[in-house]
Structure 1
Amino acid sequence: MAKKLFLLEDDLSLISGLTFAIQKQGYEIDVARTTAEAESLWDKDKYNMAILDVSLPDGSGFDFCRKIRECSKMPIMFLTAADEETDVIMGLDIGADDYITKPFKLAIFLSRINALLRRSDDFNTAPVELISRGISLKLLKGEAYKDGKLIDLTASEYKLLKLFMDNQDLILSSDQILSSLWDCEEKFIDNNSLTVYIRRLRTKIEDDPGNPKKIVTVRGMGYKWSLTN
């Protein structure tokens, strides 16, 4: 099914050229020339992206951008002659993903539309939550829950837990785990530290840390997130 774009622009000559170019890319497009017309056309579940002019006969594209951001995370691009730095900053601050000033090259404009839509597809298909054995990871928030209650984890503990839950029922060697826990300051975590991390993590997620059922030790091989214990 073709992606559908929403264009809010009042320049008739520009509308004609952009509509032709966008449709040639295989996209569908609806056009509004005023904010009033945009209000009547707008349906958040109908469009994959919005392209907004700033200066309109009856208002501002900034206001319509705010309206979209109240209900949607779709890509938003400003396409405008308003090239003052303050305008660009405002557009990005209120939720736009890109800001192109007129005049512009059509090939670059289309390339940036394609890039925004690809990123949006990647974002929408990526998992936002991992759930297993009563543990839930809210990936966008970086939070972990046990039976619905927030767990207080350090950044390294969260990273370790995510590694296990990303590789459920697979044995991970100490070397595999250690390489993933290289911190942002490039300070390598050794085997002794790993043992401490796992022990601390077990106290926070296991019902009986002395007899772990989730993160289990596989003697001589490593650890795994068990689905069967």
Structure 2
Amino acid sequence: MRKLLLVEDDLSLIEGLKFSLAKHEFEVTVARTVKEARHCFNQSEYNLVLLDLMLPDGSGFDICRMIRQTSNIPVIFLTASDEEVNIVMGLDMGGDDYITKPFKLNELLSRINATLRRSEPVKEQVTELHANGIAVKLLEGRAIKNGTDLELTSAEYRLLCLFMRNPRVVLSKEKIMQSLWDCRESFIDDNTLAVYISRLREKIEDNPKQPSFLTTIRGMGYKWNIM
């Protein structure tokens, strides 16, 4: 579950938000003062902070400043004030969004989910695979061993990519055949798969008669070893 710190002093709003957010798989921790919020934030890790602007012992601005000293966690301000100066101040000091009270729950949930999506780190796209002196350049559709291009068929290339993406994992024949089959080819059976494996070994193994990269696990399937 995603963990959310709710900093709010309105008891009726707290109960309603806790119930609704829990239904959407959020684990909610509540702090009703600046002091409680500082303590909670320092004691645990959260995915997002919902931060009321006006609190009994200070301002949500104080908490946001504290958070931004050490963390880039998303912060959404909950405010009864729609004055532009407060909105601008909150965003300038590091707030990611704001929502004005009273608000609709669906709008709040949409804002939370959108903010969380924007805060997710961008995953780097894998463009090359490397193992056992073999490099596969995925964007170019090429496989190279010790500086020399391997002359692979489409099926052999897909096989090699499948194994290199799953190192040290025993892949069943069924899993492999599902990965090899597509709309351009007829159904691949055990015998055809064995031929593909044999041909691939001829092209990638140092000693195809005693394969060390692509080994057979009797009764289970095949495994790609990292040497």
TM-score, structure 1 length as denominator?
0.54
Does residue 6 (structure 1) correspond to residue 39 (structure 2)? The answer is no
The question of whether the paired residues in 2 share the 8 Å contact of 1:54 and 1:61 is answered with yes
* Alignment-mate amino acid for residue 4 of structure 2: L
Per the TM alignment, residue 50 of structure 1 is displaced from its structure 2 partner at its CA by: 0.3
Structure 2: state its 5+ residue gaps: 125-135, 142-227
User: 2:121 maps to what in 1?
Assistant: 124
Per the TM alignment, residue 125 of structure 1 is displaced from its structure 2 partner at its CA by: 4.2
Per the TM alignment, residue 82 of structure 1 is displaced from its structure 2 partner at its CA by: 1.7
Provide the aligned length of Structure 1 versus Structure 2.
Answer: 138
Quickly say closer, same or farther: Cα 1:40–1:84, change in 2 above 3 A. same
The question of whether the paired residues in 2 share the 8 Å contact of 1:44 and 1:71 is answered with no
Superposed, 1:1-229 pairs within 5 Å as 2-43=1-42, 46-120=45-119, 123-127=120-124
The question of whether the paired residues in 2 share the 8 Å contact of 1:76 and 1:98 is answered with yes
Separation in structure 1 between the aligned mates of residue 96 and residue 43 of structure 2, nearest angstrom = 17
The question of whether the paired residues in 2 share the 8 Å contact of 1:44 and 1:72 is answered with no
Per the TM alignment, residue 126 of structure 1 is displaced from its structure 2 partner at its CA by: 2.8
What is the RMSD of the two structures over their aligned residues, measured on CA atoms? 3.0
Separation in structure 2 between the aligned mates of residue 24 and residue 59 of structure 1, nearest angstrom = 31
Once the two structures are superposed, what CA deviation does each residue of 1:112-154 show, in whole Å capped at 9, x if it has no partner? 111111222xx32434xxxxxxxxxxxxxxxxxxxxxxxxxxx
Structure 1: state its 5+ residue gaps: 128-166, 173-229
Quickly say closer, same or farther: Cα 1:169–1:111, change in 2 above 3 A. closer
* Alignment-mate amino acid for residue 3 of structure 1: R
Per the TM alignment, residue 45 of structure 1 is displaced from its structure 2 partner at its CA by: 5.5
Give the number of the structure whose alpha-carbon radius of gyration is greater. Answer: 2
Separation in structure 2 between the aligned mates of residue 93 and residue 46 of structure 1, nearest angstrom = 23
* Alignment-mate amino acid for residue 123 of structure 2: A
Per the TM alignment, residue 43 of structure 1 is displaced from its structure 2 partner at its CA by: 3.0
Could you list the structure 1 runs, at least 4 aligned residues long, displaced by more than 6 angstroms after superposition: none
The question of whether the paired residues in 2 share the 8 Å contact of 1:44 and 1:68 is answered with no
Separation in structure 1 between the aligned mates of residue 112 and residue 99 of structure 2, nearest angstrom = 11
Aligned to 1:42, the other structure's residue is in SS state helix
Separation in structure 1 between the aligned mates of residue 16 and residue 105 of structure 2, nearest angstrom = 9
The question of whether the paired residues in 2 share the 8 Å contact of 1:49 and 1:75 is answered with yes
Separation in structure 1 between the aligned mates of residue 121 and residue 44 of structure 2, nearest angstrom = 14
Once the two structures are superposed, what CA deviation does each residue of 1:154-193 show, in whole Å capped at 9, x if it has no partner? xxxxxxxxxxxxx968559xxxxxxxxxxxxxxxxxxxxx
Separation in structure 2 between the aligned mates of residue 101 and residue 15 of structure 1, nearest angstrom = 16
User: 1:175 maps to what in 2?
Assistant: none
Per the TM alignment, residue 30 of structure 1 is displaced from its structure 2 partner at its CA by: 0.2
